[in-house]
A and B are shown apart, each in its own frame.
Chain A
Amino acid sequence: AQKITQTQPGMFVQEKEAVTLDCTYDTSDPSYGLFWYKQPSSGEMIFLIYQGSYDQQNATEGRYSLNFQKARKSANLVISASQLGDSAMYFCAMRGITGNQFYFGTGTSLTVIP
């Protein structure tokens, strides 16, 4: 079974600073995908970034990057140059090869302070 752990229920960051949101995972699957989603207060789930377990390089998408450390089973999201609009819940998710459902963590609430 897959398990995602997000240990930071809430985080604060100053506007324009960088912030790292932690995510660790547990799986016995040899191949898997890791995903981050943003959930603003309006409730929708917005896809941010994807990392495949065999990808050689850390994924980047604009201000988002994923610090993937396979040996540590961690896939931390780094948001650079935080903006007020980044305030939201952030969920880490993974999918293994046994089934195609996503397993989500409990989320981290990020607040960007002006």
Chain B
Amino acid sequence: EPEVTQTPSHQVTQMGQEVILRCVPISNHLYFYWYRQILGQKVEFLVSFYNNEISEKSEIFDDQFSVERPDGSNFTLKIRSTKLEDSAMYFCASSEIRGGTQETQYFGPGTRLLVL
């Protein structure tokens, strides 16, 4: 069964460093998302991406964050200068289309980011 994959599974970085989190969405999906989950808290939306541009973003997704689809398969989240409060699990998700059961967002296994 097709699945969303994410690399790395764990990332430790120093405050102020740049990190790039990578995702490979399910191949026939058109909508891509990033969410984050701070330890013990609920999952929060960051950004959605469709047709090679951001379609929606939350207040969390400030100028420190950027997303890119550098090729036909990868979808990346870049954090330019990490802060301690960026420590969280970051989930990539994808969905086929909007509407009905096909809009189900399938999540990757997550990247656990720790900023020291």
Chain A residues close to B by CB (< 8 Å): 33, 35, 37, 42-47, 50, 52, 91, 93, 95, 99-107
Q: Does B75 contact A (CB under 8 A)?
A: no
Instruction: Give complex CA distance A101, B58 in Å.
Output: 9
Q: How far is the CB of B59 from chain A (nearest CB, A)?
A: 12
Partner of A44, one of B42, B55, B110: B110
Number of interface residues of B (CB under 8 A): 28
Q: Does B18 contact A (CB under 8 A)?
A: no
B98 adjacent to A100 (CB under 8 Å): yes
Instruction: Give complex CA distance A102, B42 in Å.
Output: 12
A104 adjacent to B107 (CB under 8 Å): no
Instruction: Give complex CA distance A52, B108 in Å.
Output: 23
B33 adjacent to A101 (CB under 8 Å): yes
B42 adjacent to A105 (CB under 8 Å): yes
B101 adjacent to A44 (CB under 8 Å): no
11 contacts between A and B (CB under 8 A): A33-B103, A45-B91, A91-B42, A95-B103, A99-B56, A101-B33, A101-B45, A101-B58, A102-B93, A102-B105, A106-B41
